[in-house]
Amino acid sequence: MTMAYEPRDVAPRLATGAFILNSGLSKLKADEATAQGLHGMACTAYPFLEKLGAGRFTRLLACTEIAVGGALLAPFVPTRVAGLALTGFSGGLVGLYLRVPGMRQEGSLRPTQDGIALAKDTWMLGIGLGFLGAGPRRTCATASHRSRRSARSHSRCGC
């Protein structure tokens, strides 16, 4: 099986994937009070979520986190695909930070003490955007053959 990512992607994929996967697995066991709190905060930022019950919302959030974390950890998922999932997910979390009252200092993007837990999700958005900008893997078939020396070296592999 070939890896769908470059070695430089291993550390951020492992760190971010494990973090998100753990968060999702923890939410699967959330009690009613936790579910109500998560749902209430999400509804403040995204009113359309009021249509879902707190328990269902929390289960869907947990499954989403498990899927995103799993995609980041799975070696066969291309970095760009994992980055797309991470960017979408973390974009929603940054939206919470920006929309929920009391998370930011007045007239600033700087977090309040209560907002630090959400403000830290910006690092996941940065990693996701970085993964989206990652170039495709360079294989022998796509390598540049601009010089005679390069062409000769690739003649052995048939490209």
Neighbours of 71 (CB within 10 A): 22
pLDDT in tens, 148-157: 555 555 444 4
Q: Which domain holds residue 53?
A: 7-155
In a domain, 52, yes or no: yes
Number of domains in the chain: 1
In a domain, 2, yes or no: no
| Amino acid (one-letter) located at 74 | A
- CA–CA dist 92, 103 (Å, integer): 15
- pTM comes to 0.80
In a domain, 87, yes or no: yes
User: Rounded to whole angstroms, what are the CA distances from 84 to 78, 89, 99, 118?
Assistant: 10, 9, 22, 20
pLDDT in tens, 80-123: 999 999 999 999 999 999 999 999 999 999 999 999 989 989 99
- Integer Rg of the chain from CA: 21
The DSSP output letter for 123 is: H
In a domain, 41, yes or no: yes
In a domain, 1, yes or no: no
Closest of 81, 68, 87 to residue 18, by C-alpha: 68
